[in-house]
Amino acid sequence: MSAVEDFYKVTIELIQLLEIENDLDRDVKIIKIQELLEQREGFMKRMNPPFSQEEQELGKQFMELNKKVSLLLTREKITIQKDLNQLKKKKQTATKYSNPYESLSTMDGVFYDRRK
């Protein structure tokens, strides 16, 4: 197999993995995504012209596939950011519940007399 065909197969596998919306094994999914992206990078470096007619046709499809991969990776990033923000809010709420007076200002009870 040529590097172009390997690149195409790895790209299709990456798209299939990204389309799965299974949050149960997110860590495993992220590790697999990283491995596939590294494989794609290696195949991309091995691509050298001249290309056959079939490889040129696959090259045309890469443009659309790369857009789809980019879109799916962005979606995955956004869901991870949302989860991190929710976790941060939960930690803040737990802290406020366990020590409700920590966030109060020390300026409470100060009186300013404006009369001269």
> Which CA distances in Å does 102 have to 29, 93, 96, 111?
39, 12, 8, 22
Each residue's pLDDT expressed in tens, for the chain with a length of 116 residues: 688 889 999 999 999 999 988 766 888 889 999 999 999 999 888 888 887 888 888 888 888 999 999 999 999 999 999 999 999 999 888 877 777 666 665 555 666 777 76
Are 18 and 66 in contact by the 8 Å Cβ rule? The answer is no
pLDDT for residue 27: 87
Q: Which two tokens stand for residue 107?
A: 């300026």
Instruction: Domain ranges for the chain, please list them.
Output: 3-84
pLDDT for residue 38: 95
Task: Report the mean per-residue pLDDT for the chain.
Answer: 85
DSSP character at residue 50: P
**Predicted structure pTM score:** 0.74
Give the rounded distance of the alpha carbon of 54 from its chain centre. Answer: 32
pLDDT for residue 88: 93
